[in-house]
Amino acid sequence: MITILDCYTDEPAGLGVPPYLGTYPRYIAGSLDKIPTYLTIDDLRLYKLQLKQQQEQGGRRGWEKQFAAKRVGKVIKPSQKTDIKTYNLTKNFENIQDILNNTKELIIIAGVHTPGKYLSAVPGTLKEIIKLTKDISCKKILTGPAVYGTSAEGGKFFERVDLSNFQKIKFFNPSYDEIRDFAVKGAEIIKQIPDLRIIELETSKGCSRAKHCSFCTEPLKNRISFRKKSDILKEVKALSRLGVKHFRLGKQSCYYSYPEAVEIIKEIREKFNPKVLHIDNVNPANVITKKGEEITKAIVKYCTEGNTAAFGVESFDPEVIKQNNLNSDPETTYKAVKLINKYGKTPGPNGMPKFLPGINLLFGLIGESKTTNEHNTKWLKKFLDEDLLLRRINIRQVDIFEGTPLYNTVGNKFIKKNKKYYWKWRNQVRQEVDWPMLEKITPKGTILKDVRTEIWDGKTTFARQIGTYPLIIGIKQRLELNKFINIKVTGHMLRSIIGEVV
């Protein structure tokens, strides 16, 4: 018996942290003779916790009800917070002991290269994975981005641990000819997941730039290649037949680089009419071309509102841009932000603008100085002052992976040098740009529709729409989870909003 253990992935090009379902478990499942049993690290965490509590209390009595309650999100005390480490259980949890006893080969998918904060999931670290799996008697195979390293926290080197727990370590990287069939067959694992998932769809591997950014791991894993539109459509068809209605064309370094970027979203819309159709990564330089303008118009027309083009800007400091070979200069980014706002700024039916840019900023890059944040805030405020909307500004400290130019030249030199400034720099952006930007995007009184209740924190429910970088909404009452509601915006925080049910 073969079992997949999904410990979740987050890369520069691709997300597999719930509510997203990444490509790795689907492709691997499809590559096997028979669809394997699918488990998440949440299943294993809860199982181990259950065993520990049994030992402490000397028996099973009463534990079935408590764990069943956790499974559906019923936190017992009003003061408690939803346990997001055991939130994403599969349908196989109730039989996990038998599954583990009968597993001959455990394929462990893991790897975080762009760590962030996740509302309702916690990716597994290698240290945790080893601890949880060391007593499982079977062949253990480690795959996913973790083969090239993984990091749970920004501003760190990749996690260094003894990997002798794994009998095989190999990056699963089939050709697109092979993936054509794997993706269709592997769609079946969605049957083992009881909760809603937004499916991450892949359009390309690698990066089309001749010289790559200093910190990026994508060129280590893949050379540039593009997937056939017809293969993607077959995958969407298979998933749609299984009831999936939420998709993101997110696994690529730049969506605008995909040769059939217009045609693929047009055909997905016309053939399958999904509830959510979004994109992710975008190089600003590809937006401001004639072809880029056509793609922008098509995204606004065929995709659903709340869509975000994540720009890997990383820095507006000319010296940092030069020394790290970043993919955009400030003027190019400005033109790209302006163009997407021109077509995507208008709100759609669910209350969010149809299509907006997002900005990624990185601390700790080569050449960073005290003036770096001045360059960043200058340009961010320019967008704000000119009423150019940014859906979100993602700020993190760079992670340092072996094989990248950053690792080979300076390592964590600039992280150590400027770490004392990072909280101040980040807070300045949050206070002076993020907050007023949110007030522009969602003024008080805005009605946001199709908002899904996700977790509890005491008497507050946190909810989001489904999609790329959805706004987190705090609702000051305890609502039933995993339900869709409409809310009215009543206030704004630094990176989230406050709402009430309407």
How much is the mean pLDDT over the chain? Answer: 93
Q: pTM (2 decimals)?
A: 0.94
DSSP 181-209: HHHHHHGGGGGG--S--EEEEE-EES-S-
Share of the chain above pLDDT 70, in %: 96
How confident is the model over 59-114, as pLDDT tens digits? 554 544 455 444 444 444 666 899 999 999 999 999 999 999 999 999 999 999 88
Please report the domains of the chain, with CATH numbers, ordered by start residue.
2-169 (no CATH), 197-441 (3.80.30.20), 447-501 (2.40.50.140)
Q: How far apart are CA 364 and CA 289, in angstroms?
A: 31
Q: How far apart are CA 113 and CA 406, in angstroms?
A: 14
- Please say if the pLDDT value at position 460 is more than 80: yes
How many residues make up the chain in this entry?
502
Which pLDDT score is estimated for 55?
Answer: 79
> How many beta carbons lie within 10 A of that of residue 242, not counting itself?
12
Residue with tokens 């309407």: 502
How confident is the model over 106-148, as pLDDT tens digits? 999 999 988 888 999 999 999 999 999 999 999 999 999 999 9
Residue with tokens 């080979």: 408
- Please say if the pLDDT value at position 428 is more than 90: yes
Residues with Cβ within 8 Å of 290's Cβ and at least 6 positions away in sequence, in order, are none
Q: How far apart are CA 103 and CA 5, in angstroms?
A: 11
Q: How is residue 292 written in tokens?
A: 């880029």
Beta bridge partners of 448: 487
Instruction: Say if residues 496 and 473 touch (Cβ distance below 8 Å).
Output: yes
